[in-house]
Amino acid sequence: MPDGKEIQVGKAFARWALPPRKADGHKGDFGKAFLVGGSRAYTGAPYLMAASAVCSGCGLVYLGIPGGIWALEASRCVSAIPVALGDADALTPDALPALKGQLEACDVLALGPGLGRFDGVADVVWEILGATPKPVVLDADGINALDGHIDILAERRGRVTILTPHYGEFARLLGNGLTPEDVAKGDHIAMATEFSVKYGCILVLKGHRTITATPSGTALVNTSGNSGLAKGGSGDVLTGLIASLLAQGATPVQAAAGGVWIHGRAADFAADTLTPYAMTPMDVISAFPPVFMELTETAEA
């Protein structure tokens, strides 16, 4: 992929990015994703993240949640495997042994949705980002933990890190007193690519025409999606989807930019029948099947 270029992401890119599936494959052939999130304040986020990963092809999905909400999440998860992390109802450093142990058996970590900003959460994020060599998809309060600690991200250069901030989270990452409004009015592509190059990460800057910036300076501009995605929970769905594609063998750029397009395309299908007003993040997950059918049909010449 050429350096310093701007690429429009459409169906052809997403088709190329979609990991192939062996006809005789078993669940171990399609990746193991460990998704960590949730707290007493946010119990929907981990469920959406896990449902998205399961419904986008990942062979084994493990959902790590604080022990205090384990029973609630376990009652919802019929395909993802719930893993209790500590005994509290928010993530604390006591959960690190269980978290690290489960991560050893998995290919990819997604971290952040629903964690909240409780005492101890940031300590866990810092420790895991520093310790694991595995690919990490970082969202929501996982990103917020880097506020004032951006050096931890720089230290992960050479390891796969995909960040998925909205404008507010990105403004906090940039610092310098910037506001979400400053980001919204600014040159999104320049801001995203500069950050990605500087820290050696892939940055998915969510918004209208979401941008996926790469460490090479390439910006991939999404062409799918609608205002129905502007609802709480949509980002959790995207995080699970990107982690799922990454676990199945997509490259980091394929998983990030391809996942964004698939997410938006599913939202377009949902809006066609439900309208952007009435559709929910679960409706987006429910619209994955026609998207995957579209991408796996014989490519037109």
Mean pLDDT of all residues in 196-202 = 97
Mean pLDDT of all residues in 56-74 = 97
- Predicted model pTM: 0.97
Which residues have C-beta within 8 Å of that of residue 264, sequence separation ≥ 6?
A: 210, 222, 223, 224, 225, 226, 229
The whole-number pLDDT of residue 53 equals 98
Hey, what domains does the chain have and what are their CATH numbers?
Answer: 6-18+26-294 (3.40.1190.20)
Segment 218-274, tens digit of pLDDT = 999 999 999 999 999 999 999 999 999 999 999 999 999 999 999 999 999 999 999
The whole-number pLDDT of residue 176 equals 85
**Distance from C-alpha of 168 to C-alpha of 140, rounded to nearest angstrom:** 10
Q: Spell out the long-range contacts of 26-29 with Cβ–Cβ below 8 A and sequence spacing 24 or more.
A: 26/59, 27/59, 27/60, 28/59, 28/60, 29/59
Strands 211-213 and 219-222: antiparallel
**Distance from C-alpha of 95 to C-alpha of 154, rounded to nearest angstrom:** 25
Strands 32-36 and 60-66: parallel
Which residues have C-beta within 8 Å of that of residue 198, sequence separation ≥ 6?
A: 154
Judge whether residue 165 has pLDDT over 80.
Answer: yes
Share of the chain above pLDDT 90, in %: 94
Judge whether residue 200 has pLDDT over 60.
Answer: yes
